[in-house]
Amino acid sequence: MSEIRALPAYGPLPRERYGVFLAVRRGIPLGVAAMAFLAAAFHLEGRGWWMLAGVAGIAVAWPTFLRGEAYRRSRTAIMRWDGLWARAIRPLARWLGQEDAWILSFCGWHNHRVREAFMHRKARRALILLPHCIQLARCKAGILDDLQACYDCGKCPVGDYMNAAIASRWEGRITNRSHKAYREAREYRPDLIVAVSCTDRLLKGLIKLPETPSYVIPLTLPHGMCVDTDFSVPHLMAAMETLVQPLAPPAKVQPLVREA
Ligand code: SF4
* pLDDT at residue 1, as a whole number: 40
201/214 Cα distance (integer angstroms): 13
Please tell me the residue having the least CA distance from ligand 1 atom 4.
150
Best probe residue, ligand 1, of 133, 139, 147, 163 (max atoms within 8 Å of C-beta):
139
Range(s) of the domain holding residue 63 = 15-121
245 and 168 in a common domain: yes
- Low-confidence stretches of the chain (pLDDT < 50) are 1
Please tell me the residue having the least CA distance from ligand 1 atom 2.
153
142 and 104 in a common domain: no
Structural contact between residues 80 and 60, judged by C-beta atoms closer than 8 angstroms: no
* pLDDT at residue 3, as a whole number: 62
230 and 131 in a common domain: yes
The answer to whether position 244 is within a domain reads yes
Domain count, the chain: 2
The answer to whether position 223 is within a domain reads yes
* pLDDT at residue 119, as a whole number: 84
130 and 107 in a common domain: no
75 and 97 in a common domain: yes
Structural contact between residues 29 and 60, judged by C-beta atoms closer than 8 angstroms: yes
The answer to whether position 47 is within a domain reads yes
Distance (Å) from CA 134 to ligand 1 centroid: 9
* pLDDT at residue 120, as a whole number: 83
138 and 115 in a common domain: no
Question: What string of DSSP letters covers 35-60?
Answer: HHHHHHHH-STTHHHHHHHHHHHHHH
The answer to whether position 34 is within a domain reads yes
* pLDDT at residue 43, as a whole number: 83
Structural contact between residues 172 and 233, judged by C-beta atoms closer than 8 angstroms: no
Whole-model pTM?
0.88
Last residue of a domain, one of 56, 88, 121: 121
**What are the residues whose beta carbons fall under 8 Å from the beta carbon of 50, sequence distance 6 or more?**
36, 37, 39, 40, 43
Please tell me the residue having the least CA distance from ligand 1 atom 8.
139
* pLDDT at residue 11, as a whole number: 79
Distance (Å) from CA 143 to ligand 1 centroid: 9
Last residue of a domain, one of 101, 121, 141: 121
CATH number at residue 245: 3.40.50
188 and 78 in a common domain: no
Give me the helix-helix angle, 99-118 and 199-208, nearest 10°. Answer: 50
127 and 220 in a common domain: yes
Q: Ligand 1 site: residues with CB under 6 angstroms?
A: 135-136, 139, 141, 143, 150-153, 155-156, 158-159
pLDDT digits (tens, 9 = 90+) for 102-125: 999 999 999 999 999 998 889 999
133 and 68 in a common domain: no
* pLDDT at residue 46, as a whole number: 82
